[in-house]
Structure 1
Amino acid sequence: MNLSESTWTDIRDADTDLAVLPVGSTEQHGPHAPLGVDYMTAEAIAEAGVEQYAADFDGEAVVGPTIPVGIAEEHRDFDGTLWVSEDTFRAYVRETMESLAYHGFDRVVVVNGHGGNVDALRECCGRISRDGDAYAVSYTWFDAVATEELGHGGPAETSFMRHLRPELVHEERTEEAAEGAAEQWGEWLNGTNLAYDSAEFTESGVVGDPRNGSEELGEELLAEAAGALSELLDAVATRAV
């Protein structure tokens, strides 16, 4: 069930206390991929994961509206990137979850598509769980799938978009993206990342080679991420809290 597409009476009559909240970012992903990669992937995984949960466990969950702007100031040098502070982000996500809990959806899985959100979401979900308003956990899809080529705007994310929204991938620009790409995220010395902003170590904004991967890989990543989310939803739904 999609909350935004439902009526208030549909939500009132929903036979579940479980909600899924997609969270992403609007930030550069190189010259070839759209700014909305992170929130588009989070939204797609949330919807597919809830469908899989219904098929695997006969369970029901409500998918809330996607939060499209996150903690992404590290990409500020690339046009179109939007960001909010960590305090603003935590408050917005927490208050959104409190709204869900007010209506009886007091078990929440946040589906995250952006690495910069990870720490804040862990803290936010921990705080709302400890304070007793709801039980919440955050699920970051790329931590749950078997891929070693995530990068940033690299093979995995570009493949995901090739499957999800191929018309938004500028294949003719992938060579430009690869030529200006970094091999790893950051500028590391003795376990310390010396760089705060991505423009310090990647000219195109990309980490990894987006020419690798395929639409088929994107389809596999979506299926794997949705399956993992389905298992997590069952664990959260049945957990004693």
Structure 2
Amino acid sequence: MHLSTSTWPEADAVETDLAVLPVGSTEQHGPHAPLGTDALTAEAVADAGVEAYHGEVVVAPTVPVGVAEEHRQFAGTLWVSEDTFRDYVRETVASLAHHGWDRVVVVNGHGGNVAPLREVCGRITRHDDAYAVPLTWFDAVDLDRDWTGDPDAPPVDIDAIRMGHGGPVETALVRAVSPDLIREERLDDAAAGAADGWGEWVGGANLAYDSAEFSENGTVGDPRDGSEALGEWLRERAAEKLAALLDEVAARDVSRPERR
């Protein structure tokens, strides 16, 4: 059940303690992919995972702005501080828990949200009246294991799609869920100005803080490798991971350790 399209009596009638909160970002994804890519993909994975799950789940509205100052040089990028983001997620989870939906999986589509989400979900679980755990969809899909073990996986160079931003993985999923949003005529330019990897690494340290320092147009990886077939495969695998996680969260003893 999606809260944004439901009435309050319909929400009141739901008999579940499970909720999903998609979170993303509004930031540049190269000249070919929309600023809302991370929110769009997080919501798509959340919907597919809930559909694959065997029980009822409440789906909260997607949080569209995240921790994304690293893309500030590119027009249209929006961001909030980590403190603001953590507070927003924590208070949203608290409001879900107020209505009885106190087991929450936060489905994330943006790399900059990973660290603050892990911290705030731990704080929620330790100190609030809820249990929360984050799932970042592109980390949940194990390309080596999931792709190698699937005879029906689309043909792809795994090494070419491992790391990217507006690259093959994100481009593929957007093609699968909203193909009209990919500017096909700009793909060659996106690839020409793309970086081969994220950051400038020396001795295990990333010297670059902003994507403009190492990518001419904000793209990392060749988006031309991101086919619709790959996107559909990624969505299915991510949905399976989310459905399995919902199973575990539903069955988990979430009482505080000191109370057990």
TM-score range, shorter chain: over 0.9
Aligned to 2:135: 139
Kindly state the Cα deviation for residue 6 of structure 1 after the two structures are TM-superposed. 1.1
- For residues 37-93 of structure 1, give each alpha carbon's deviation from its aligned partner in whole angstroms, at most 9, with x where no partner exists: 000000011111011002xxxx11100000000000000000000000000000000
2:72 maps to 1:112: no
TM-score (normalised: structure 1) = 0.97
Q: Which amino acid aligns with 1:96?
A: T
> Aligned ranges for residues 38-187 of structure 1 at < 5 Å?
38-54=38-54, 59-147=55-143, 148=158, 149=161, 150-187=163-200
Query: Given the alignment, which residue of 204, 215, 220 partners 1:202?
Result: 215
- Native 8 Å contact 2:43 2:62 kept in 1: yes
How many aligned positions are there?
Answer: 237
Give the stretch that moved more between structures: 103-112 or 143-152. Answer: 143-152
Which consecutive residues of structure 1, in runs of 5 or more, have no partner in the other structure? none
> Which runs of 5 or more structure 2 residues have no equivalent in the other structure?
144-157, 255-260
* Structure-1 separation of matches of 2:247 and 2:109: 21
For 1:43, give the aligned amino acid: E
Distance 2:57 2:251 in 1: 13
Q: In the aligned structure 1, how far is the partner of 2:173 from the partner of 2:4?
A: 24
CA distance in 1, matches of 2:250, 2:107: 15
Equivalent AA in structure 1 for residue 20 of structure 2: V
Q: Cα offset for 1:9?
A: 1.2
Q: Deviation per CA, 1:141-185, whole angstroms, max 9, x where unpaired? A: 011113351400001111111111111101111111111111110
Code of the aligned partner of 1:7: T
One-letter code aligned to 1:157: E
Q: What secondary structure sits across from 2:225 in the alignment?
A: coil
1:146 aligned partner, one-letter code: D
Which residue among 203, 212, 216 is the counterpart of 1:190? Answer: 203
Which whole-Å CA distance do the structure 2 matches of 1:146 and 1:165 have between them? Answer: 24
**Is structure 2 residue 228 aligned with structure 1 residue 215?**
yes
SS at match of 2:118: helix
Give me the TM-score of the superposition, normalised by structure 2: 0.90
- Once the two structures are TM-superposed, the CA of residue 3 in structure 1 deviates from its matched residue by 1.1
- What is the CA-CA distance between 1:104 and the residue it aligns to? 0.4
Q: CA RMSD in A?
A: 0.8
Q: Distance in 2 between matches of 1:222 and 1:45?
A: 6
Question: Which portions of structure 1, spanning 4 or more consecutive aligned residues, are displaced by more than 2 angstroms?
Answer: none
Alignment-derived partner of residue 150 in structure 2 = none
> Aligned residue for 2:10?
10
Residue 46 of structure 2 aligns to which amino acid in structure 1? A
Aligned twin of 1:32? 32
Q: Which moved more, 1:144-153 or 1:112-121?
A: 144-153
**Alignment-mate amino acid for residue 9 of structure 2:** T
Post-superposition offset of 1:132: 3.5
Deviation at 1:22, TM superposition (A): 0.2
Which residue number corresponds to residue 19 of structure 2?
Answer: 19
1:239 aligned to 2:252? Answer: yes
Check whether the contact 2:165–2:220 (CA below 8 A) recurs between aligned residues: yes
